[in-house]
């Protein structure tokens, strides 16, 4: 009887064992056409909790994903954190370009050119003429090509928004004494061209404008990783991973190489509008109008190879990054100088002449030059994870741009009055001034950044 009882039980056990074995074989068989969307298992390099560690107790009752950040472990072809996009606000400081005194006022017309006199006030010029604090933005995006995040690409674009500055001086009835100072090339004496004085009404406007922008596309290659440096963390894997281990510092070093473009452009324009009220002693007909225009523009284009490293790390929600970079290439400079004068005498045809006051035939033209140069830059940043995929960023950036042609520095304050447009030209005009001297300057540009980054 005992044998009759145990034989059916052994058969059932054998059958059940066979079914279990078959299920195990089916479960372990490779899928042919079905690919799982995701797996909740953490990567093998994430260790389980240490003996005696209680993950829930380490979290102090707070949801683990709030401590670590949420991340789903996708399939091997769609790893988490492989793509990112970042937007930043830039508050940069760029030194203004130096220019000679351009507008003065004084207690007497004869002192307008005496810029060092106590009776003369320089209203514009005589130092940096462009606004030094600028606002801008930077966009950066990239992606890893492999699941291990060892090879990828990155592209960025930034622009420091146009900074403009202007000044206007004069009077509509000649009550103010205003002039445009310069140095007489024939005598070396400081004098001025009148804009507003008794019997002469007029205004002079000076406007400056500048823009800085750049773009790059880089290849990114990981050199080494120390510890575990994550972009975010898995909510599903938290129960198997020690929070204490997550709080360890992980670092990585990436090599950067690619193409870099930079552009810095600025301009200075001066417009003078005069109306003769009553100046018979100078042979001017009342009602005569003068429109004098001077323009100085500079364009700098840099094209080169960018090389650098990105050293980054993470500890809990906090992250940091240091990014030194050096670009080797050619800067191409173009300076454009133009001037013109329009004279309208009552009941006579309008006359137009080439040349204003500081832009005359002696320096008018388009000038080009280029040279090999180095452009170093540095980005420092700290970040804080506020959401599984969102990170706040704060940092500091600086860039050194050598060999720049700046518009204000191309203005020559020495002028030969005989070259100023007039009806009767002197057969022996004298010195060819103002002149173009191709002045260059090296400029440090730096400031703080604030932004936000999204990874997926």
Tell me the helix, strand and coil percentages in the chain, rounded to 5: 10, 55, 35
In the chain the first and final C-alpha atoms are separated, in Å, by 68
How does residue 96 score in pLDDT terms, banded at 50, 70 and 90?
confident
DSSP class of residue 97 equals P
What is the residue whose two structure tokens read 């823009």? 211
Residue 347: enclosing H or E segment and its boundaries? none
Q: What is the pTM of this model?
A: 0.77
Backbone conformation region of residue 347, classed left if phi is above 0, alpha if psi is from -120 to 50, else beta: left
Q: What percent of the chain has pLDDT over 90?
A: 55
45 or 418, which is more confident? 418
Omega into 259 within 30° of 0, i.e. cis?
Answer: no
Q: Which of 9-23, 151-165, 189-203, 279-293 has the lowest mean pLDDT?
A: 9-23
- Domains in the chain, please, with CATH? 35-455 (2.40.128.90)
**For strand 318-344 and strand 351-354, is the pairing parallel, antiparallel, or unpaired?**
antiparallel
Compute the distance between CA of residue 341 and CA of residue 353 in angstroms, rounded to an integer: 5
Compute the distance between CA of residue 5 and CA of residue 369 in angstroms, rounded to an integer: 104
What is the residue whose two structure tokens read 């003996």? 51
Nearest C-alpha neighbor of 337 from the set 443, 438, 431: 438
What average pLDDT does the structure give for the chain?
80
Which residues have CB under 8 Å from 36's CB, separation 6+? 75
pLDDT tens for 231-260 read: 444 444 443 444 444 456 678 899 999 999
Phi, psi of 320 (to 5 degrees): -145, 160
Backbone conformation region of residue 188, classed left if phi is above 0, alpha if psi is from -120 to 50, else beta: left
Q: Which of 31-45, 221-235, 268-282 has the lowest mean pLDDT?
A: 31-45
229 or 379, which is more confident? 379
pLDDT tens for 197-236 read: 988 999 999 999 999 999 999 999 999 887 544 444 444 4
């Amino acid at each position: 009887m005992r044998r009759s009882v145990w034989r059916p039980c052994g058969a059932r056990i054998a059958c059940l064992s066979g079914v279990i074995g078959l299920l195990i074989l089916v479960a372990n068989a490779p899928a042919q056409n079905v690919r799982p969307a995701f797996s909740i298992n953490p990567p093998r390099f994430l260790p389980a909790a240490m003996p005696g560690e209680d993950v829930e107790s380490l979290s102090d009752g707070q949801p683990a994903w709030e401590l670590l950040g949420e991340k789903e472990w996708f399939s091997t072809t769609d790893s988490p954190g492989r793509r990112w996009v970042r937007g930043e606000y830039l508050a940069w400081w760029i030194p203004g370009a130096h220019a000679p005194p351009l507008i003065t006022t004084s207690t007497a017309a004869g002192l307008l050119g005496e810029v060092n006199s106590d009776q003369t006030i320089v209203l514009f010029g005589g130092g940096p003429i462009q606004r030094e604090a600028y606002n801008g933005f930077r966009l950066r995006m990239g992606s890893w090509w492999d699941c291990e995040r060892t090879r990828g690409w990155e592209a960025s674009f930034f622009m420091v928004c146009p900074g403009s500055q202007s000044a206007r001086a004069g009077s509509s009835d000649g009550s103010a004494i205003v002039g445009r100072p310069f140095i007489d090339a024939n005598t070396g004496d400081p004098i001025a061209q009148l804009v507003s004085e008794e019997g002469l009404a007029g205004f002079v406007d000076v406007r400056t404008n500048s823009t800085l922008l750049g773009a790059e596309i880089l290849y990114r290659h990981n050199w080494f990783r120390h510890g575990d440096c994550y972009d975010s963390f898995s909510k599903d894997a938290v129960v198997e991973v020690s929070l204490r281990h997550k709080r360890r510092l992980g670092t990585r070093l990436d090599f950067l190489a690619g193409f870099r473009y930079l552009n810095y452009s600025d301009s200075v324009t001066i417009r003078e509008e005069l109306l003769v009220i009553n100046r018979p002693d100078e042979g001017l007909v009342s009602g005569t109008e003068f429109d004098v225009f001077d323009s100085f523009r500079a364009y700098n284009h840099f094209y080169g190879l960018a090389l650098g490293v990105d050293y980054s790390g993470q500890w809990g929600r906090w992250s940091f990054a240091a990014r030194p970079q050096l670009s080797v290439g050619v800067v191409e400079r173009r300076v454009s100088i133009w001037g013109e004068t329009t004279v309208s005498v009552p009941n006579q045809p309008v006359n137009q002449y080439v040349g204003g006051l500081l832009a005359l035939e002696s320096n008018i033209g388009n000038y080009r030059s280029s040279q090999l140069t180095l452009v170093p830059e540095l980005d420092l940043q700290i970040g804080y994870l506020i959401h599984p995929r969102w990170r706040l960023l704060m940092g500091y950036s600086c860039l050194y741009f050598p060999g720049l042609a700046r518009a204000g520095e191309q203005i020559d304050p020495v002028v030969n009055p005989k070259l100023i447009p007039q009806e009767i030209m002197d057969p022996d005009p004298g010195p060819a001034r103002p002149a173009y001297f191709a002045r260059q300057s090296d400029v440090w540009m730096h400031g703080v950044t604030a932004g936000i980054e999204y990874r997926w």
